[in-house]
Structure 1
Amino acid sequence: MASTASALHILVKHKEQAQDILEQLNKGAKFQTLAKKYSSCPSAKKGGSLGEFKKGTMVPAFDKACFTGEVLTPMLVKTKHGWHIVKVLYRT
């Protein structure tokens, strides 16, 4: 089982906005561009990149999505911080 993952994410307050961003991604928009434009997380400056992190480092729902969700397929995750659009780049 993977012990580390690398992911990009966009953090917004509202589900509707998260769904709209996900739709834009599905139509071919660049993840990094949308992260810089919409994300309220400091990672926005890096195109939403969280780099590589260990299992158990992130809040539970986010962690679970990163370690069980599909790789390279953006997905919505709700946490105490808001709505995330998460794209897992790889797991090791």
Structure 2
Amino acid sequence: MLGIWVIVGLPFGFVRMRSIIYLKNGDLGTTSAVFLLNFIIAGIIGGFIASYKLVIAIYHILKGIINGVVTLSGKAVVRES
């Protein structure tokens, strides 16, 4: 489940991460581990951003459907005083 979360969040996470951790004097194993850690951190951050954007999208879809139904029925949503 965490793997799917990270994969979905990668495009959103790298943009919002602002910095990438890197090592100057590390061997191949350490460098690859830190590189994968960057992907995991970006994926987790992006997973939260993606779920937030999904909730906002569902809200706007439902709002549009409700406004369309109310408009077609001819009843005003907001009463003007």
**If the TM-score is normalised by the length of the shorter chain, which range does it land in?**
under 0.3
**Bigger relative contact order (CA 8 A; separation at least 6):** 1
Of structures 1 and 2, the larger Rg is shown by: 2
- Decide which structure has greater strand share: 1
> TM-score when scaled to structure 2?
0.25
